[in-house]
Amino acid sequence: MNDLGRLEDLPVEYVEEMRRQNLVPLWPSLRGVLPPRVPTRQTRPTHWPYQSIRPLLLRAGELTPIEKAERRVLVLANPGHGLDKMQASAAMYLGMQLLLPGEWAPSHRHTPNAVRMIVEGEGAYTTVDGEKCPMSRGDLILTPTGLWHEHGHDGSDPVVWLDVLDLPLMFYAEVSYHVNGTRQDVVPGQGDRRHAHGGVLPTPAFVRGHKDYPMLRYPWAEVKAALLDLAADEPTLEHVQITYVNPQTGADVENVLGFYALMLRPGQTLRLPARSPAQVFHVVEGAVRVQCAGAGFDLIEADTSCTPGYESVSLSNARPDAPSFVFMADESPLHRKLGVYEVRG
């Protein structure tokens, strides 16, 4: 028996009187909300194979026109949270979004922060705060809180991207909403060009206006080159990883979730220590086996998986003769702000 007592141990009339007054006794449920040493977690290790998702996503394109859907997305829902909750972890939402040639997803802005990791296709773009960001496989595009954004497609083949939002957190905090807008006028210049050279930045006094997010597009070609250069420069380095940062501040690109790219050397197995945040892994190139909490998944290109916090994770490159590259997202910035970030070795 729970050493704090059970609700059913209390007199029925006492319980009913409390409920009439919107009162709840804490002690029968205390260990549920404050368990010893390890938090209660609903996030389960989960794998979403892209080859299973893609036919359903293309079928959605046949069944639902963009004018009706506005955003044509299949949500990657973690069964531990319940499919109706539409969340991958406590603070992360994932979705696979489809845009067909000639379509335009209208402009809006919302309180949740979002990023787009491009999965396949060419010819589409996202316009964010007036900046037109081309979409190519592996590119990361930010649509931070409050910024207008829309999607268009001038190419000839379907384009798909992975959405990562802090929507569950915003919804829980009762601050999640959106506002519809009109088509944006594109302004000259691209942040990824202005910040493309390491070690040098535009001098703030001579840059037109001020932006909290000076770089909205992080091209995969540059990210992959950075990983390869890091691996070559430090051949004994086991953990070859970069962090997507705001080039003006050095801080995480957005204020709730963190984003990273990882390179696994040929045949390498890398153990990530148990940390408090949940993690998302998406294979950009190669093949990777993910093992966590007794579960194991074999990911190929465009596959996505999620692991809970407070569990170590093992990543193994299934390619013995070539590196594999993984995009990662986690809740580290949020945990640091809350003062609960932990690494347990």
Query: Which pLDDT band, with edges at 50, 70 and 90, does 4 fall under?
Result: low
pLDDT (0 to 100) of residue 198: 85
Over residues 90-109, the mean pLDDT reads 97
Q: Is 43 helix (H, G, I), strand (E, B) or coil?
A: coil
Residue type, 194: R
Q: How far apart are CA 207 and CA 185, in angstroms?
A: 20
Sheet order of strands, 178-180 included: 131-134, 124-128, 149-153, 104-110, 178-180
Q: Which residue has the tokens 């506005």?
A: 70
Which residue from 145, 138, 112, 133 is spatially nearest to 213, judged by alpha carbons? 145
Residue 115 in contact with residue 259, Cβ under 8 Å? yes
* Mean pLDDT, residues 2-25 taken together: 87
Share of the chain above pLDDT 90, in %: 87
What's the Cα-to-Cα distance from 214 to each of 209, 249, 314, rounded to whole Å?
10, 10, 35
Cα(334)–Cα(166) distance, rounded to whole angstroms? Answer: 10
- pLDDT score of 3: 59
Give CA–CA dist 344/236, Å, rounded.
24
Which tokens is 113 given?
């922060």
At residue 2, the pLDDT reads 47
Please state, as a whole number, how many other Cβ atoms lie within 10 Å of the Cβ of residue 330: 23
Closest-CA residue to 239 (of 274, 259, 264, 266)? 264
> How far, in Å, CA of 306 to CA of 164, rounded?
12
Torsion angles phi and psi, residue 111, rounded to 5: -75, -40
SS3 assignment, position 308: coil
More reliable by pLDDT, 206 or 237? 237
Residue 205: pLDDT band (50, 70, 90) is low
Residue 284, pLDDT above cutoff 50: yes
Lowest mean pLDDT among 176-185, 193-202, 255-264, 316-325: 193-202
C-alpha 101: how far from chain center: 25
Token match 């465009």: residue? Answer: 302
* Least confident range of 102-111, 121-130, 185-194, 294-303: 185-194
| Length of the chain counted residue by residue | 345
More confident residue, 30 or 276: 276
What proportion of the chain, given as a percentage, has pLDDT over 70? 97
Res 208: pLDDT: 65
Residue 345 pLDDT grade (very low, low, confident, very high; cuts 50, 70, 90): confident
pLDDT in tens, 141-169: 999 999 999 999 999 999 999 999 999 99
Mean pLDDT score across all residues of the chain: 95
Amino acid (one-letter) located at 249: T
- Residue 211's pLDDT band (boundaries 50, 70, 90)? confident
The reported pLDDT for the residue numbered 1 is 39
On the question of pLDDT at 79 being above 50, the answer is: yes
What residues contact residue 189 under an 8 Å CB cut-off, 6+ apart?
131
Position 9 scores a pLDDT of 87
So what's the pLDDT on residue 40?
Answer: 94
- Token representation of residue 198: 């390491």
Q: Which option is the CATH number for 46-338: 2.60.120.10, 3.40.50.300, 3.90.1660.10, 3.50.50.60?
A: 2.60.120.10
Average pLDDT in the 180-197 region?
90
pLDDT score of 202? 86
CA pair distance 10, 12, nearest whole angstrom: 6
Token reading at 323: 């590196």
Task: Over range 124-132, report the average pLDDT.
Answer: 96
Backbone angles phi, psi at 80, to 5 degrees: -65, -30
Q: Which pTM was predicted?
A: 0.95
